[in-house]
Amino acid sequence: MESRIPRHVSIIMDGNGRWAKNRGLDRLYGHKEGVESVRACMRAAVEDGIEYLSIYAFSEENWNRPEEEVQGLMDLMIMAMKAEIPTFLENSARFIALGNMSRLSELFNRTVKEITDATAAGTKCCMILMVSYSGQWDILQAMKKAAAQLSEKDFLSLTQEDFGKYLVTAGIPDPDLLIRTSGEVRISNYMLWQTAYTELYFTDILWPDFREEQFREALAEYSKRDRRYGKVK
């Protein structure tokens, strides 16, 4: 593989439910197995020198799922975050969570702060949990934030670069590579602004089966892409 490594890789983790259904198991078993894939990809990202790894864990639309499944997912994420502190420390990785945090429980937000503080000294990779997030929500909240903070004249003169400072990902480079598992070929309302020129990689592999080997196959494919950003080369 060429040494051309993306700075920021983002993943839409899809297929947990189907993975479990194929095995006659409850959907939550798929989500539990998916945690192993997150750990594997973070380890590979650190080893390969990727600065940012973001994962789409729970969308704004996911709140419409059955209450029992939503609560199970929240409990699982809280347990997984706490359990992964040693993994973050061993890999000198830090953790942050971005999204509509006001919709999440006090316990969830308290756990996020605990993990964020505990891993703040990590220097090799930043793992970003995108939770209670959607691209449309992000753009709307950014617009409201900008309108509240700026005069009408300054708001109307906002550039694209200026507007990006109001997104929840402000200060984080846009994804170079977006991976989606499970065979679905869409980005499902994810980072709509930030992925304008992101390279997209789709695979039929269900998320619980996506590990280091599959992650590096995606990196190998990325290394072959010619990124022109609308320019002629």
The architecture of the domain spanning 8-134+175-224 is 3-Layer(aba) Sandwich (3.40)
β-bridge mates for residue 216, sequence order: none
Q: How many CA atoms lie within 13 A of 131 on its CB side?
A: 21
Do 57 and 77 form a contact (C-beta atoms < 8 A)? Answer: yes
Which 8-state DSSP code applies to residue 12?
Answer: E
pTM (2 decimals)? 0.93
d(CA 106, CA 112): 10
Domain edges within the chain: 8-134+175-224
How would you write the pLDDT of the chain (233 residues) with one tens digit per residue?
Answer: 345 899 999 999 999 989 999 999 988 889 999 999 999 999 999 999 999 999 999 999 999 999 998 999 999 999 999 999 999 999 999 999 999 999 999 999 999 999 999 999 999 999 999 999 999 999 999 999 999 999 999 999 999 999 999 999 999 999 999 999 999 999 999 999 999 999 999 999 999 999 999 999 999 999 999 877 666 55
Do 108 and 75 form a contact (C-beta atoms < 8 A)? Answer: no
Catalytic residues, which ones? 14, 62
User: CB neighbours of 227 closer than 8 A, spacing ≥ 6?
Assistant: 176, 197, 199
Do 211 and 17 form a contact (C-beta atoms < 8 A)? Answer: no
Which residue, among 16, 38, 40, 41, has the nearest Cα to 29 in the 3D structure? 16
pLDDT tens sequence across 163-194: 999 999 999 999 999 999 999 999 999 999 99
Q: Tell me the pairing of strands 199-202 and 177-180.
A: parallel
